[in-house]
Amino acid sequence: MLTPELWDPTTKVFSQLAPQAVPRTYHSVALLLPDGRVLSGGGGLCGGCATNHTDIEILTPPYLLNADGSAATRPTLSNVPADAQLGTSIAVKATTGVKAFALMRLSSNTHAVNNEQRRVPLSFTIGTAGEFILKIPADPGVVIPGYYMLFALNTNGVPSVSRTLRLH
């Protein structure tokens, strides 16, 4: 498949993006990077392929760009703890204009299938000092213990560069 798709969790609709230059089939990988871009690589020996593909492509999704193609302004995260317990809350600092937070589980990808990737939206409140208090879900079936990327998203849906958080 050459055409990546972008899921919109608000509208619950996929939209097609610009096609990849190289078919990414058997033994390929697609990984969400901490900066919100997507690494797509490997694959080969597909129906019309003459060889294996030992290269990668980096997709810059449209949510990282302004209409003119320049980089969109991103929120930033700071003071993120290194780890947290399921069912607790953590305090983080972020720039103003943040409207959402999401956890993205670090990937485990093989044979073009990613069994571990998941997005977990987090509810939050604002603390007395302006910090964001994020509620970590308690259900280990929703938040499997392990490492996650924490993203802050602004009102335009532009994500921060993530911070890694271990949940246990």
147 among known catalytic residues: no
Q: Taking every pair of C-alpha atoms in the chain, what is the biggest distance, in angstroms?
A: 61
Residue at token pair 């977990």: 120
Cβ(134)–Cβ(92) under 8 Å? yes
Q: Which position among 26, 63, 147, 148 bears the catalytic label? A: 26
Query: CA angle, 55 as apex, 53 and 61 as ends, to 5°?
Result: 115
Radius of gyration from C-alpha coordinates of the chain: 18
Catalytic residues: 26
